[in-house]
Amino acid sequence: MAGSGELGVRTRARLAALLVDASTGALGAAGGRVAGVYLRSSTPGLLRLAVLVGLPGPLFRPWWRLHLGRPFPVADAYRLGVQVVLSNATETVRRYPQFAAGLPFPFGSVHVPVPGGTEPLGVLTVLRPAASDSVDALLDRELLARLAEGLGAELLGLADGDEAAVAWDGEPLCVRPPVVRPAEARVGRFTWDPVTSAVRADDRLHALLGLRPGECAGTAPALADALSPADAHRILAVLRETAAGRPPAAPLHLRSGEGAPRLLDVCPGAAGGAASLISGIVFDPGPAASADGAADLLPQGVFCLDRLGLIVYVNEAAARMAGRERAWLLGRPLWEGMPWLTGPPYDDHLRSVLLSQEPVHVHVRRPDTDGAGPGEGDWLALSVHPGPDILTCTLVPASRMDAPVEPARDGTAVADQHAPEAPVVGGHSLAPLYRPIALAIALTDAVTARQVSAVVMQELLPAFGGRRLAIYLLQERHLFLAWETGFPQGFLAPFDGVGLHAHLPGVETLTTGRPLFFESMQQLAATYPGIPLDAEEGARAFLPLIASGRPVGSCILGFDRSRSFSTQERTVLTALAGLIAHAMERAQRYDSEAALARGLQQALLPRRLSAHPGVETAGRYLPGTQGLDVGGDWYDVVEAGNGLALVIGDVQGHGVQAAATMGQLRSAVRAFALGDRPPDEVLSGTNHLLIDLDPGQFASCCYLRLDPATGHAQVARAGHLPPLLRGADGRTRVLDIPGGVVLGVDPRAQYPVTELWLEPDAILALYTDGLVERPGADIDDGIAELALALAKAGAAAGRRGGRSLAGVADRLTANARDATDRPDDVALLLATRRPTPRR
C-alpha cells in the first residue's frame, strides 16, 4: 500500500496522516514517549514499521522489520489478536528476553493489534515509562483499542475494502510528537563567598526562581533550598568541594520543587571579583532551549536535540569542541553533525534517555581539529538530560574530572579507564551496530536445524546489510545444503553434497577453520578461478561453523554491493559463527532424537482403524512444529465384543519418552478393550499400570464403547477434553460427561460412566488439546470454535452425500496443518453410524 509507488499523492498523504494521528493519539492514551504502527508487508510473515513518533528513526533501525515467528511482543499481539502490555523492564525480560536485550534500560510498552478482517492489518505500539505491576493509571486500554479499531477501518476504507492491499514496504515515516509545553530557556548567575557564606544573585536568577529582586536570602543554605529542596545537601557539598579546589566533574543535574529540570555549574573565581569567590550559573533548559540562546553565556558546551535527533541549538563552546561551525551544525541530525557521539554505546544511551527519561553521563573522545572524526584528543564528559520535547546535552573537558588514569598500549596515559572506545565512522563497518547477545538469545529458542537457519536469516542478515545466506552442514565428509535464501533459483544445487577435497571457499573455510572475506566478486573469482558466480557485483563472507573443535558446516553471507570488512566486523562475524555452530550441533542432536521419536510413534499409531460395516471412522495425527515436534497423542479403534471401542489420549510431554509411554498405554487399552471390559474398568486398569510403570508422566484419556446396531454408547473420561456431537439435524454440542483425574496420579481414582446414543448420520468427535488450545486464549473458546467448524464441515459433507468423513477430518485439521508455529501435536478421531439400509 505504501513504498510500492502505486498510490496517488493524495492517497499517500491520507495514509501518512492516518498513521501519524493514531500514533500521536496512542501517546496520550498510554502516557507514552514513543509510538508507532507496524503494518503487514508484501513479504509473508513480515511486519514493517510504517510510522515512528518521538524517536529518531536510525535509533530504532534494528526493529524496522519484525518476523511474526520471532518471540517479540509485536509479533504476539498480531498473531494472537490480543493486547500485550509490559509494565516494566522486569516483566519484559521475563516474557521477551530477546526484545529486552536490545533495549537494556527501564521502560514499559503496550502493543495493540489493528483489526481488519480475517487477521490484523498491523500493530499499534507504544513505548512508555516503566510502571509498577499494580499502578498503571496512565494506561487507557479501551481508548487504545478504539484507536486501533478506528485505524483499521480507515485503512480498509482507503484500500476500498481490499484487506490484502494494506501493506507497507518502505522505510518508516519519522515525525515529532506534539509539543508538551512551550517554554523559554533561562539562565541566572550568583557568587558565593566561602569565608562569609554570603550569596549575591543577579536579577535573572531571581526571575528563574520566581522571586522578586533582593528577595533571595543571602546565604548558601537558603540558595540551595531555593534551587532544589530535595538536592540542597548536594548543592552545599559541591560548593564546599569547589572552594577546596575540587570543582565538579560536570554540571549538577537538579529538580526544582515542582520537578522541573535545572543545571548548576560552579567554578573557582568570579569575573571582576575576589579570587576566593565561587561563581555559579543556574540553567533552566526547558523544552525550547534554543529560543533565546541563553546558554551562550555558559563556559561548558551545551547543545539540544529534538526527539528526532536534530540539533536545534548549540552554543559556541560546544561547536568549538565539535570542531564545526555553529551555523553548520544547526538543523543537522546528530549522527551527521557529531558522528563521534553516535554508534554503540551512545545510541543505547540516547534511546535510554528518550524512553526512560533518566539522565545519563558518559565519556567521549574529543574529535580531531578538522571535525572529521574521533582523534587522539582529550576525553569529554557528556551529560544528556531529558525533557518532554528536547534533550539538553552538556560537554565539559574530562580534565576537570578526578578520573583514574591507566596507561594505554603506546605508553601514554588515558583518562578514565572505563571510557568506551569510539566507534568507526565513515567506513562500511556495521558490526558494532549488532548485539551478539541478541543472536545468542534468539538461538536458545531454536531447536531444529531449520529453526536455527531461520534465526540466522532473520537476525544476522539485516544487522549486517546482507541479502543472501547459505548454510551447509557436514555429513560423512560431504557438505549438504541445509538452508538458502536470496540466491538465484538452482544456483547452489551443484554445490550440494560436495566433498571436503573440493577447491571451494565454502569447503576450505571449514577444513582450515579460517574465515574468508572477499570484498568483491572479482576478488573471489581471482582467488578461485573458474568458480561460478551468482552476480557481477557484491561481497561474500565464508564462515566456518566449528563447535568445541568439531566441524559442523559452513555459512555464506552475500552482499549486493562490493564492500570492505573492518577488523572489528571480521572478529564479530567469526564469533557469531561459533554461536551458530553450537546451535547447529545441538539442533542436529535434537533432529536425530526427533527422527527416532517420530519413527517410534508412527510404529505405535494404528496403520488402519478397525472396520465395522455399521460405523465409519476417520483419524488424523499432526506432530507439533516447535521443539522436538513429537508428542504422546494417540487414537485407536478396537473391536470390543460385538461393538467398537473409540479411544483418544494424550501423554504429558514430548520426545522419545512420551512416545514410548504412549505405546505402552495404547497396548494396555487395547488389551482391556479386546476383553470387552466396561469403560470405567478400562481406565482404572490403565491408571494402575501407568502408576506401576512410574515413568514420571501422566496422561489424559477418553474411552467410548459403541454398539453399532443400536447406537448405545458408554463413555468415561480421565482428565480429557469433552467429546463433541453433531446430530443428524446439524445441531452440534459439547457433551457434558463427568470425568475423573488424569491417569498415573491417584491409584484410587474413580471414572464414572455416562450413557448416550449415537443416531445414524450423527458425527462424534474426540480430540486432543493441540487442536483447540491457543496461547493467551481460553480453551473453552477453542472448543466452541471447533464445534462450529464441525457443524459447518458436517453440513458440507451432507450436501455431497454424507460419504466423506475423511473430508470432515481434513477440514477440521486444516488450520492446524497450515500453522508453522504449532507448539503441540494434534490428534482427532471421528465416528459416524451409517443408516440401516431399507429392505
Q: Which residues contact 565 (CB under 8 A, 6 or more apart)?
A: 428, 517, 519, 539, 541, 573
Cell of 261: 529540570
Cell of 321: 569542541
CA 520 to chain centre: 34
For residues 111 and 403, give the distance between their C-alpha atoms in angstroms, rounded to a whole number.
Answer: 43
For residues 649 and 634, give the distance between their C-alpha atoms in angstroms, rounded to a whole number.
Answer: 5
The CA R_g of the chain, rounded to the nearest whole Å, is 34
pLDDT given for residue 654 in this prediction: 62
First to last CA, the chain: 64
For residues 248 and 314, give the distance between their C-alpha atoms in angstroms, rounded to a whole number.
Answer: 22
pLDDT given for residue 569 in this prediction: 79
Q: Which residues contact 406 (CB under 8 A, 6 or more apart)?
A: 413, 414, 417
Among 426, 416, 332, residue whose Cα is nearest residue 374:
426
Among 404, 402, 430, 398, residue whose Cα is nearest residue 417:
404
In this structure, the dihedral spanned by the alpha carbons of residues 450, 452, 458 and 462, taken in order and rounded to 10 degrees, is: -130
For residues 116 and 161, give the distance between their C-alpha atoms in angstroms, rounded to a whole number.
Answer: 9
Q: Strand pairing of 478-485 and 498-499?
A: antiparallel
- A 10 A CB-CB count for 486 gives 15
Please report how the helices 567-604 and 656-674 are oriented relative to each other, as an axis angle in degrees rounded to 10.
Answer: 10
Residues in the chain: 839
Give the three-state DSSP class for 187: strand
For residues 194 and 669, give the distance between their C-alpha atoms in angstroms, rounded to a whole number.
Answer: 93
Q: Strand pairing of 173-175 and 46-53?
A: parallel
What string of H, E and C letters represents the secondary structure of 607-643?
Answer: CCCCCECCEEEEEEEECCCCCCCCEEEEEEEEEECCE
For residues 557 and 539, give the distance between their C-alpha atoms in angstroms, rounded to a whole number.
Answer: 8
CB 258 within 8 A of CB 389: no
pLDDT given for residue 803 in this prediction: 52
User: What number of CA atoms fall less than 13 Å from residue 7's CA on the CB side?
Assistant: 21
CB 362 within 8 A of CB 342: no
189: left (phi over 0), alpha (psi -120 to 50) or beta: beta
Give the three-state DSSP class for 815: helix
CB 732 within 8 A of CB 798: no
Please report how the helices 220-227 and 232-243 are oriented relative to each other, as an axis angle in degrees rounded to 10.
Answer: 130
For residues 172 and 61, give the distance between their C-alpha atoms in angstroms, rounded to a whole number.
Answer: 9
**Cell 536570602 belongs to which residue?**
217
Among 621, 617, 644, residue whose Cα is nearest residue 634:
621
- A 10 A CB-CB count for 53 gives 28
pLDDT along the chain (839 residues), means of 10: 50 80 88 90 89 86 83 90 87 76 78 89 91 64 90 88 83 78 65 86 81 72 86 88 76 73 73 65 61 59 86 87 86 86 77 80 68 52 82 76 34 32 34 53 71 79 80 90 88 91 92 91 92 89 87 91 83 82 80 66 64 87 62 84 91 70 83 89 91 80 94 94 92 91 90 93 92 80 91 68 77 77 79 72
CB 306 within 8 A of CB 288: no
Q: What is the pLDDT of residues 384-427, one digit of tens each?
A: 888 777 888 888 876 544 333 333 333 333 333 333 333 333 33
40 to 113, 118, 124, 734, 832: CA distances (angstroms): 11, 13, 12, 37, 43
CB 754 within 8 A of CB 738: yes
CB 519 within 8 A of CB 539: yes
Strands (E) in 179-260, as ranges, are: 186-192, 199-201, 252-255
For residues 712 and 166, give the distance between their C-alpha atoms in angstroms, rounded to a whole number.
Answer: 53
Q: Which residues contact 553 (CB under 8 A, 6 or more apart)?
A: 471, 472, 473, 474, 479, 482, 510, 545, 581, 584
Q: Cis link prior to 172 (omega < 30° from 0)? A: no
For residues 446 and 464, give the distance between their C-alpha atoms in angstroms, rounded to a whole number.
Answer: 21
pLDDT given for residue 432 in this prediction: 40
CB 163 within 8 A of CB 267: no
What string of H, E and C letters represents the secondary structure of 717-771?
Answer: EEECCCCEEECCCCCEEECCCCEECCECCCCCCCCCCEEEECCECCEEEEECHHH
- A 10 A CB-CB count for 578 gives 17
For residues 251 and 260, give the distance between their C-alpha atoms in angstroms, rounded to a whole number.
Answer: 16
Buried-state track 199-227, b at ≥16 Cβ within 10 A, e below 16? bebeeebbebbeeeeeebeeebeebbbbb
CB 772 within 8 A of CB 780: no
What are the two backbone dihedrals, phi and then psi, of residue 554, each rounded to the nearest 5 degrees? -145, 155
pLDDT given for residue 605 in this prediction: 64
Give the three-state DSSP class for 218: coil
- A 10 A CB-CB count for 233 gives 11
pLDDT given for residue 741 in this prediction: 92
Q: Strand pairing of 712-718 and 739-740?
A: parallel
Q: Determine the residue type at 321.
A: M
For residues 744 and 396, give the distance between their C-alpha atoms in angstroms, rounded to a whole number.
Answer: 71
In the chain, count of helices (H) and strands (E)? 23, 36
**Cell 528476553 belongs to which residue?**
97
CB 670 within 8 A of CB 604: no
Give the three-state DSSP class for 649: strand
Q: Determine the residue type at 438.
A: A
Q: Strand pairing of 643-654 and 173-175?
A: unpaired
Q: Determine the residue type at 521.
A: M
Task: Identify the DSSP state of 456.
Answer: I
pLDDT given for residue 521 in this prediction: 93
CB 594 within 8 A of CB 630: yes
Q: Determine the residue type at 482.
A: A
For residues 249 and 381, give the distance between their C-alpha atoms in angstroms, rounded to a whole number.
Answer: 8
CB 544 within 8 A of CB 556: no
For residues 717 and 682, give the distance between their C-alpha atoms in angstroms, rounded to a whole number.
Answer: 11
Give the three-state DSSP class for 90: helix
For residues 710 and 614, give the distance between their C-alpha atoms in angstroms, rounded to a whole number.
Answer: 10
CB 454 within 8 A of CB 445: no
